C-alpha cells in the first residue's frame, strides 16, 4: 500500500546535521518529516564514528594504565596483568550508543518531528519515495534539507569484506587482532591504530605521504610520531598498499621494494566521500562542486528551497559543522536572517597525544612578516605534569597579527587538549586579541594555562618560561 504525505520541511538523513535541523525546525513550529535510512538516529557520528570510537579509545587508555601498573608499576601503583574481553567492551560501547539513540529519538518526538525509517529516492527536487517495511511513502515538501552524510572510501584492490575492514567494523570486533595493519595515516586510522596498540595488538601503518597526518605541520605531529615509535608501531611512509592475500598485505615501499605484511585484520582508512549515490540526487537538478553539493553561505543549493548540510557539502567533514549548518537552515526556513559564516571550525585528532587546530597554522602564514607566533610547552604547566602530560613534547601555539594582535590561529598537541578546543574557537569567533586572553584570569592548575602563557609569550612577557 502506498501512502502520500506532504510537509513544510523534509530532511533526508538523521546524522548530526539532519537531526539537529529537525529538532530546531520543530522548536520553530515547522511541520517536519525526517527520513532515516542510514546508520540510525545520530548517523555515522553517534553510531559508528565519533562517539563509539572515543569509547573504545577511552577503554584502551584504561587498559594501558593497568598494563603499566602491572609492568613495574606507575605512580607508585602496582597491579596484576590485565586482560581484555573485547566483546564486553564493545557491548559497553553499544550501550552508550543505544542511550544516545534513545535521547535523540526523545528530543525529536518532543519537537513533534515525524521520523520515518526507510530509504528515500527523489524523483524531482521536492518529491521522494521512501521504501519502508510497511510499504512505500511518497513525500512532497516545500523545503528539502539534504543531510546524507558520508561513507568510507573503498579501495578497488582492497574491497571491504572478511578481514579487510572499515572503521565501522573496527569498532565492533569481538577480539583484539594479533596483527593489525592500518592503510592510511590520517586521523581515523591513527586513532584506531593507537587504541588497538594500547590493547595489545601489533600495529603497522601504511601511508602514501612522507609523514603522518600530512594536513598538520610537523611540530604538531612529531609528538604522535614519537609515541608510535616508543610503542613499537611499524611505520611505512611513502608506501602504497596493494592486494591482501593469504593473511598478508602486499605493499610497495618508498624505495620500490616489495613488502609482505602479516595481518589478521587490514583496516582501510583512506578517507571518506559524500554519500551522493542511491537516493536520486541526479534527479534534483542541484549544482555540484566536485564530489560535493554546492551551497552558498545560507547552505542553499542551486535549486530553490533545497538546502544541504554536513559532509555532503564539503570540507571540513566534521559533525559539529553539520550541526551548526542544520540550525542555520532551520532558522532561515522559519524566516530568520542567518548566514553560515564561522570564523573557524576547530578540529581535533584523538590520537596519543591529542591534536587541536583552529584557524591559520604556520603553513598558512609561511613567508609573512606580519604574524607573531608563540609557543608554550606543557612541560612548564603544573597540571600537565600531574597528569603525566608534560613529557610528550606537547604545547599550545598562538598565531596573531603583529599590527593589532588579532588572533589568527591556535594549535595544541598534548594529552587532554581536546577539551581546550572550544576555548580556542570561542576566542577566535569573538575576534579576540592577545590582550583578551592575557587579561583573562585562567584557573590554576589547569591545562588551559598554557593558552594564557602562549598569549603572554606572544606579547613578550610570558611568566613561567
Q: What is the 3-state secondary structure (H, E, C) of 242-307?
A: EEEECCEEEEECCCCCEEEEECCEEEECCCEEECCCCCCHHHCCCCEECCEECCCCCCECCCCCEE
Q: How far apart are CA 101 and CA 165, in angstroms?
A: 24
What gap in Å lies between CA 129 and CA 44, rounded to an integer?
23
Active-site residue set? 444
How far is C-alpha 194 from the chain's CA centre?
16
The DSSP secondary-structure symbol of 81 reads P
Q: Which of 126, 150, 137, 42 is nearest to 307 (CA)?
A: 126
447: phi > 0 → left, psi -120 to 50 → alpha, else beta; which? alpha
Q: What are the Cα distances from residue 211, in Å, to 166, 199, 223, 235, 287?
A: 22, 24, 13, 9, 35
7 forms beta bridges with 141
Element (H, E) at 419: none
Instruction: Count other C-beta atoms under 10 Å from residue 453's C-beta.
Output: 25
Count of residues in the chain: 465
Contacts of 62 (CB under 8 A, 6+ apart): none
- Tell me the C-alpha distance between 445 and 457, whole Å: 19
Instruction: Tell me how far apart the alpha carbons of residues 84 and 177 are, in angstroms, rounded to a whole number.
Output: 12
Measured CA to CA, the distance from residue 363 to residue 354 in angstroms comes to 20
What does the alpha-carbon distance between residue 78 and residue 113 come to, in Å, rounded to a whole number? 53
Residue 206, all three cell numbers: 601504511
Asked if residue 250 lies in contact with residue 258, where contact means CB atoms within 8 angstroms, the answer is yes
Q: What is the dihedral of CA 78, 80, 86, 90, to 10 degrees?
A: -50
Amino acid at each position: 500500500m502506498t501512502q502520500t504525505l506532504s510537509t513544510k520541511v523534509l530532511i533526508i538523513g538523521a546524522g548530526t546535521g539532519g537531526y539537529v535541523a529537525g529538532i530546531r525546525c520543530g522548536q520553530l513550529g515547522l511541520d517536519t518529516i525526517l527520513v532515516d535510512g542510514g546508520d540510525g538516529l545520530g548517523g555515522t557520528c553517534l553510531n559508528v564514528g565519533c562517539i563509539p570510537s572515543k569509547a573504545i579509545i577511552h577503554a584502551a587508555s584504561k587498559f594501558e594504565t593497568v598494563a603499566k601498573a602491572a609492568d613495574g608499576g606507575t605512580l607508585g601503583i602496582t597491579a596484576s596483568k590485565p586482560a581484555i574481553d573485547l566483546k564486553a567492551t564493545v557491548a559497553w560501547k553499544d550501550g552508550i550508543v543505544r542511550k544516545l539513540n534513545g535521547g535523540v529519538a526523545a528530543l525529536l518526538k518532543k519537537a513533534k518531528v515525524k521520523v520515518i525509517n526507510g530509504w528515500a529516492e527523489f524523483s524531482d527536487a521536492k518529491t521522494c519515495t521512501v521504501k519502508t517495511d510497511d510499504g512505500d511513502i511518497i513525500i512532497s515538501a516545500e523545503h528539502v534539507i539534504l543531510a546524507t552524510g558520508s561513507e568510507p572510501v573503498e579501495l578497488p584492490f582492497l574491497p571491504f569484506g572478511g578481514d579487510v575492514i572499515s572503521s565501522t567494523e573496527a569498532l565492533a570486533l569481538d577480539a583484539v587482532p594479533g596483527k593489525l595493519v592500518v592503510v592510511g595515516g590520517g586521523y581515523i586510522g591513527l586513532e584506531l591504530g593507537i587504541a588497538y596498540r594500547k590493547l595489545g595488538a601489533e600495529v603497522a601503518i601504511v601511508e602514501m605521504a612522507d609523514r603522518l597526518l600530512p594536513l598538520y605541520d610537523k611540530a604538531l605531529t612529531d609528538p604522535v610520531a614519537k609515541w608510535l615509535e616508543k610503542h613499537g608501531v611499524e611505520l611505512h611512509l611513502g608506501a602504497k598498499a596493494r592486494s591482501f592475500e593469504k593473511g598478508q598485505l602486499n605493499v610497495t615501499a618508498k624505495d620500490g621494494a616489495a613488502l609482505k605484511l602479516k595481518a589478521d585484520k587490514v583496516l582501510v582508512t583512506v578517507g571518506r566521500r559524500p554519500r551522493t549515490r542511491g537516493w536520486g540526487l541526479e534527479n534534483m537538478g542541484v549544482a555540484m562542486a566536485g564530489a560535493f553539493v554546492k551551497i552558498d553561505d545560507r547552505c542553499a543549493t542551486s535549486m530553490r528551497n533545497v538546502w544541504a548540510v554536513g559532509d555532503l557539502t564539503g570540507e571540513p567533514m566534521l559533525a559539529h559543522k553539520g550541526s551548526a549548518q542544520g540550525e542555520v537552515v532551520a532558522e532561515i526556513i522559519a524566516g530568520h536572517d542567518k548566514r553560515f559564516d564561522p570564523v573557524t571550525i576547530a578540529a581535533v585528532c584523538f590520537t596519543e597525544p591529542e591534536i587541536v587546530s583552529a584557524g591559520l597554522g604556520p603553513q598558512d602564514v609561511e613567508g609573512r612578516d606580519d604574524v607573531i607566533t608563540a609557543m608554550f610547552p606543557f612541560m612548564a604547566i603544573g597540571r600537565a605534569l600531574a597528569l603525566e602530560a608534560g613529557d610528550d613534547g606537547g604545547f599550545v601555539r598562538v598565531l596573531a597579527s603583529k599590527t593589532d594582535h588579532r588572533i589568527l590561529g591556535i594549535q595544541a598537541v598534548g594529552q587532554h587538549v581536546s577539551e581546550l578546543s572550544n576555548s580556542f574557537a570561542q576566542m577566535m569567533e569573538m575576534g579576540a586579541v592577545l590582550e583578551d586572553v592575557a587579561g583573562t584570569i585562567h584557573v590554576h592548575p589547569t591545562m588551559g594555562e598554557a593558552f594564557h602563557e602562549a598569549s603572554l609569550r606572544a606579547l613578550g612577557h610570558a611568566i613561567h618560561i
